[in-house]
Amino acid sequence: MLSYMSLLLARVLSGVIISFSLGNQKQAQPTEGPAHDFTFATFEDETYTLSDFRGKVVVLNFWASWCGPCRAEAPELEAAWQDYKDEDVVFLGIAYADNGPRSMAYLEEFGISYLNAPDLGTRISEAYNIQGVPETFIIDKNGDIARFIYAGITHNQLINIIDPLLKEA
């Protein structure tokens, strides 16, 4: 009886340790606090750092040309960008593990005119712990994550998030 209990306890402890280890491997996406700063080169070979946009609201959207929900939200993002392009708002698309020609075709297909950059090495995606695409982070003027959306986003949702952030000092 004692050896059965010892074996059972050992299995339970092993399960707890494995679960804890696996849980720590995949951290959740950041939903508050300072947004991770990174440098990127756009598809047009312009280089920026996220912190270059401090003082503006940033819509950071992770997408891929092969992603169905990304394709559905692409016109919504572009429409919102057209509404805000003359205000203190920056839209930045990050092409997650997508090759250049497919990404460029996607941008052309949807008439995307805001900044977009590839993330072929997934270093930006890993910094934000993205689990899939689309994922969107709304970053306030101070560089803090104000909102995280794990799904496609609509034009109206963006307005409801961005407008209050623009009014903040």
For position 1, what pLDDT does the model report?
Answer: 56
Question: How far apart are alpha carbons 165 and 34 in whole angstroms?
Answer: 15
For 59-82, write each residue's pLDDT tens digit: 999 999 999 999 999 999 999 999
CA-CA-CA-CA dihedral for 166, 119, 157, 151, to nearest 10? -150
Residue 78 one-letter amino acid: E
Pull the structure tokens for residue 25: 């491997």
What pLDDT does residue 2 have? 53
Q: Quick one: pLDDT at residue 18?
A: 33
> Which tens digits make up the pLDDT trace of 115-147?
999 997 899 999 999 999 999 999 999 999 999
- Partners of 49 in the β-ladder: 39
User: How would residue 28 be classed by pLDDT, with cut points 50, 70 and 90?
Assistant: confident
What token pair was written down for 142? 């101070």
